[in-house]
Structure 1
Amino acid sequence: MDSLVLQQEYNNSSINNDNDQKQLHQISRFVFYFMIFHASFTNVLMAYHIGLFNNLSDHLDYIYSWNLEQKILYISLINSLPQFVAAIIALFGGKWAQKHGRRKLLIIFNYISVLGTGVTLIKHTYALVAGRIIIGFSFGIWSTIGPLYTLEVACKKYKGISGVIYSIFFCLGIAFSYIASYGLPSDPKQSQKNNFWRIILGIPAVLDQNEARKTLEKYYQQDIVDFSK
C-alpha cells in the first residue's frame, strides 16, 4: 500500500495553541482518507439536523397537538433558533479553541449535541425548542472549527480534495435525513401514536457519541481522550 508522510505544523491561525502539538505521522493512503472523512463528519451531523425537520413538518402538529398558528410559530423557531445561536457561538469559536484546543472543543460540543438531541426526544413543545437551542451551540463550533480542522488534517497535496469532501458530506447529511424519514407513517395523524419520530431525532446522538470519542481518538492515536490535559 502506498504511504505518505503527513506533517502537521503550527501556523498563525487563532485556533492553534500549545494543546495542539506538532506531529509527524507515517500513515497509509487508506488511513489518510479515513482521517479526512472523519474530520469532515461534523458536516454530516449539521446537515442532518438541518434537513430533518423539513421532513417532519407535516407530522409535528399531530405529535405535539399544535393548532395552525402554533405550527407556523414553532416550526419557524425550531428551524431558525439553531442557526441564530450558531451565529453567536461562531464569534467565540476561535478564541475558545485557542484556549482549550481544537480536539477538546470538538469532543465537548459533540457531547453537547448529544444532550440537545436527548432533550428533543421529550414529547413537549418547550423541550423541543430547548433541545434545538442546545444543538445550535454545536452548530457554531462545527461550522467554524470543522472546516479548518479538515484542512489541517490534509497534507498540502490533498488540501483541495479535502475541501471537496467536506462539501460533499453536507449533501450526504441532507440526503441521509430524507432517507431516514421514509419510516414515518404515510398518514401524519398516525404519528400521534407512532414513535418513529423519536428514532430519527435520536440518530444524531449515536453519531455524535461515536464521532466525539472513537474517530478523534483514532486520529490522535490515543486509546482514551484525557480531558485533564
Structure 2
Amino acid sequence: MTGAETARVRGLVKEFGDRRVLDGLDLTVRRGEFTALLGRSGSGKSTLLRVLSGMDTDIQGESTVDGQVSMAFQQPRLLPWRRVWRNITLGVETGDARGVAERALAEVRLTERADAWPRTLSGGEAQRVSLARALVREPDLLLLDEPFGSLDALTRLAMHRLVTQLWERHRPAVLLVTHDVDEALALADRVLVLEGGRIAAEHLVSAPRPRSIAQLSELRAHVLSDLGVNDHEAA
C-alpha cells in the first residue's frame, strides 16, 4: 500500500521564544499513506505542518519532503476578489488555467460554481474549493490542517467521503491534523499522538473503508487513553 518515504523529520526542534513546542520530533510519512495526527491544543500539530509545508524554516533538525507539497487549512482562505476558478489556479503555471480549474472542480463536484464569488459559497462548498486548489498542484504530500473543524456534522461526514475518494484516486501521502479521534480513525491508516513535542504513540488502523467506529471501539479507547481521556469522559 505504501512505498518510499515522502516526508522525513529527524530531531526537529521548534521554539517560540523560551517555549519549545517541538522537541526532537522524529516522523516518517510514506508515499500513499494516510496519517492522522492528534494532540492537545498547543501541542505543535499545526506547527509541524507549517514546517513540512516550508512556511516555517526557523527550526533545528532535519525536515525534508520528496516532491510537491499542498496544504488545506481549517479556513478555506479564498481571495474574495477572485472568482472560484481563479482561486483554484492562483500561482499555477499553465496555458489552460480555466480548463485545469474546471477539471479540479469536477473532482470535488462543484463544476457549476466555477464563476461564483467566494462570498456566495456555503461552508462545505468553500472547503471543497480549498481541496480542489490543493489537489490541482498534484501534490506528493497533502497537508490537511483541521479542514473540517468549522463544518456541521452532516457536511463533515460528506467531506470525509470526498477526501477518502480523492485520496484513493490520486494516492498522495496525507498528513491530517485533527482534534477528533473518530475522524482520525475513520480516515487514516495510521494515527499518531503528539505530546511533549514528540510522537508519543502510534496506532495502525487496518479495518477496511468505509469504517464504523463501533468496529474500532477498542482502538478508540487506546487512542483516548494516550490523549489522557477516559471513555466515560469522552461519552
For the criterion TM > 0.5, the same-fold answer is no
- Greater share of strand residues, 1 or 2? 2
Q: Which structure carries more relative contact order (alpha carbon 8 Å, separation 6+)?
A: 1
- Greater share of helix residues, 1 or 2? 1
Give the structure-2-normalised TM-score: 0.28
Give the structure-1-normalised TM-score: 0.28
Q: Which has the larger radius of gyration?
A: 1
